[in-house]
Structure 1
Amino acid sequence: MFRSEINAGLLKSSVDTVSVLVDECKVRLDEEGLSIKAVDPANVGMVELDIPAESFESYEADDELLGLNLVRFEDIVGMANKGDTIVMELDEETRKLTIRIDGLRYTLSLIDPDSIHQEPNVPDLDLPGDIDVAGRELRRGVKAAGMVSDHMAFGVSEQSSDGASTGSTDVSDDGTFYMRAEGDTDDVRVDLGEDDLISLDTGGEEAESLFSLDYLDSMAKAIPNDAAVAVEVGDDYPVKMNFELAGGDAHVTYLLAPRIENE
């Protein structure tokens, strides 16, 4: 069985974090809450979403595994106002999901979970660079990089770069998290020192990885401006980004594989 009531704003923002990568996914429901693990068709980007039971206005669930068409589900949820309550209930006989928003009642057909891409295993990465950065700063860097290139680098250095590289010497000498992109004619770089970040730990190492901007841009748009994003980076390793929605009512993890350039 499954029946729940949830704030529309929370459900919308949660679904957005998944739909930037996939059009359909498996949804796991149990007494602990709702969880989704999905990887895009190219196996480049991965997302993990958890909405604990206490984040719902009401929640009842046995162990269920649903296959969800996110495109149709987003269209339905998008008809709700931010402060509305969305009621969802699974019909165990028809295996359809009933969604109610005020006077609106929509019956959504589900997908056979076996027909959906297998859920990924989240790798346990021990990466040297550990940064906590505001969502707005991350989005700003990604947006700037998109003006000059289709890929960008995340990196950490123990020392700030010189003024000739960054255009500014006002960067922490204790370490820097940087985002940079190089185009055919123009370059862009954003350096954030300890004073610009929530926290910074370079692990005593310098590291940099290159990523596709298509993926980073989609992920960044789903991250709230006021979110504290825990970013973990290594040298030619995937980047891991963790953040919360609605003050901790949902937790999201993104993992993005690096783009390795041939020498």
Structure 2
Amino acid sequence: MLNVTARQELMSTIVEILGVVVEEARLDFGEDGLAVRVVDPSHVAMIKMDVDSAAFDTWEVDETKLGLEMRKLNQFISVGGAGDMVELTYNEDSGQATILIGRIELNLRPLDNSTLNPPNVPSLDLPCGVTISGTELSQALRASRLAGDLVNLSLSESTFTVDVKGPTDSIKLDFSADDLMAIDCKEPARSQYSLTYLTPLAKIFQKIDNVNLRFGENFPLRLTFDFADGAGHVEYFLAPRVEGDY
């Protein structure tokens, strides 16, 4: 049995975050909440998401794994307003899922779960970290995209730098320790990442209080943030661009 209800804003946020990386995802509903693990087809970006059942208005769940198309789901959920309720049910006997927003009902057949195996999430010891407001990071990512496709992130004991050098334009943003919520760096580090996988997060970060970034010299980037008053938790992993990638 699966019968969950949540406000449109929560459902929209979940789907928007997952849609940054994949078009299809397997949603694992359990007694305590929702768990999703996805990786993009190129294995460059990965998301680990957990949402506590307390974030939902209704949570009547037997363990269920449901494969859904993110784009279709996002388009349908966007029909509703921020105050609307979204109800998701699944009938195992008929194999049909139903999503209800007000009077509007969408019936769909879930995807084959065997094609949606979740990835193993890496355990990374990343040496440097910084915590920044979601609004500041959103602005930095949107500005960076104006200059190029690759962003350099640099961190020292007192400064976090976002730097982009494109073919003709460049953008640089420096954040001092006073501008940041936290900074942790014993030795300077610099690494480069694709904005293709970061810029879509800018819209989401506008609604997030703060984001923790951890990386190292040519290390993967891990972005960690919460939503839904802390009931939702996301870890976003992104592989670095190193010299051999050019």
Specify if TM > 0.5: yes
1:168 corresponding residue in structure 2: none
The answer as to whether partners of 1:155 and 1:233 remain within 8 angstroms in 2 is no
Count residues with an aligned counterpart.
245
User: Once the 2 structures are TM-superposed, how far is the Cα of residue 60 of structure 1 from its aligned partner?
Assistant: 1.4
- RMSD of the alignment, in Å? 1.4
The letter for the 2-side match of 1:217 is T
Which segment is superposed worse, 137-146 or 2-11? Answer: 137-146
Q: Does 1:123 align with 2:122?
A: yes
Q: How many angstroms apart in 2 are the aligned matches of 1:233 and 1:241?
A: 9
Q: How many angstroms apart in 2 are the aligned matches of 1:186 and 1:102?
A: 48
SS of 2:137 mapped into structure 1: helix
Q: How many angstroms apart in 2 are the aligned matches of 1:143 and 1:35?
A: 29
* Residues 1:147 and 1:31: Cα distance change in structure 2 (over 3 Å): same
SS of 1:149 mapped into structure 2: coil
User: Once the 2 structures are TM-superposed, how far is the Cα of residue 220 of structure 1 from its aligned partner?
Assistant: 2.6
Unaligned runs of 5+ in 2: none
Q: How many angstroms apart in 2 are the aligned matches of 1:95 and 1:248?
A: 33
The letter for the 1-side match of 2:200 is S
User: Once the 2 structures are TM-superposed, how far is the Cα of residue 226 of structure 1 from its aligned partner?
Assistant: 4.2
Q: How many angstroms apart in 2 are the aligned matches of 1:187 and 1:98?
A: 48
* Residues 1:43 and 1:260: Cα distance change in structure 2 (over 3 Å): same
Unaligned runs of 5+ in 1: 159-174
Q: How many angstroms apart in 2 are the aligned matches of 1:238 and 1:221?
A: 22
The answer as to whether partners of 2:162 and 2:174 remain within 8 angstroms in 1 is yes
Q: Does 1:240 align with 2:222?
A: yes
The letter for the 2-side match of 1:183 is G
1:145 corresponding residue in structure 2: 144
Aligned pairs (5 A) from 1:81-160: 81-116=81-116, 118-158=117-157
2:66 corresponding residue in structure 1: 66
Q: Does 1:201 align with 2:200?
A: no
2:28 corresponding residue in structure 1: 28
The answer as to whether partners of 1:17 and 1:223 remain within 8 angstroms in 2 is no
* Residues 1:76 and 1:186: Cα distance change in structure 2 (over 3 Å): closer
The letter for the 2-side match of 1:55 is A
The letter for the 1-side match of 2:195 is L
SS of 1:16 mapped into structure 2: helix
Which segment is superposed worse, 100-109 or 236-245? Answer: 100-109
User: Once the 2 structures are TM-superposed, how far is the Cα of residue 62 of structure 1 from its aligned partner?
Assistant: 1.5
Q: How many angstroms apart in 2 are the aligned matches of 1:186 and 1:80?
A: 40
Q: How many angstroms apart in 2 are the aligned matches of 1:254 and 1:155?
A: 18
Q: How many angstroms apart in 1 are the aligned matches of 2:66 and 2:237?
A: 23
The answer as to whether partners of 2:88 and 2:100 remain within 8 angstroms in 1 is yes
The answer as to whether partners of 1:154 and 1:209 remain within 8 angstroms in 2 is yes
User: Once the 2 structures are TM-superposed, how far is the Cα of residue 97 of structure 1 from its aligned partner?
Assistant: 1.0
Deviations 1:29-60 (A, max 9, x none): 11011111101111101112211111111101
The answer as to whether partners of 1:14 and 1:245 remain within 8 angstroms in 2 is no
Question: So what's the TM-score if we normalise by structure 1?
Answer: 0.89
